[in-house]
Amino acid sequence: MVGDDITSNVKTIKSIPHDLEFPVDVRVRGEIMMPKSVRKELNKEREEDGEIPFANTRNAAAGSIKLLDSREAA
């Protein structure tokens, strides 16, 4: 497999189904989308915590989904 295994973090996304009606072995690929309004709120929180804000929405989405603690990714 090439890439990052972010399974535990993806499971925190409410719109992703966790069960299928039949047994299957699959690998799922996709993109994570984040509204600009969410990035702005994250950046506000980051600045309040003394952290560097995300430069753009793509970096915010990628950085958030790769967090080691899946509770933070939600």
Query: 10-61 pLDDT, tens per residue?
Result: 888 888 888 888 998 888 787 888 899 999 999 999 999 999 999 999 888 8
Number of domains comprising the chain: 1
For residue 52, the model assigns a pLDDT of 94
Position 24 in a domain: no
How far apart are alpha carbons 2 and 48 in whole angstroms?
A: 36
Residue 9 has pLDDT above 60, yes or no: yes
For residue 37, the model assigns a pLDDT of 95
Position 50 in a domain: yes
Position 74 in a domain: no
Position 19 in a domain: no
What's this model's pTM, rounded to 2 decimal places?
Answer: 0.62
Position 60 in a domain: yes
For residue 11, the model assigns a pLDDT of 83
How far apart are alpha carbons 46 and 51 in whole angstroms?
A: 5
Position 49 in a domain: yes
**The domain containing residue 52 runs over which residues?**
1-11+34-69
Position 45 in a domain: yes
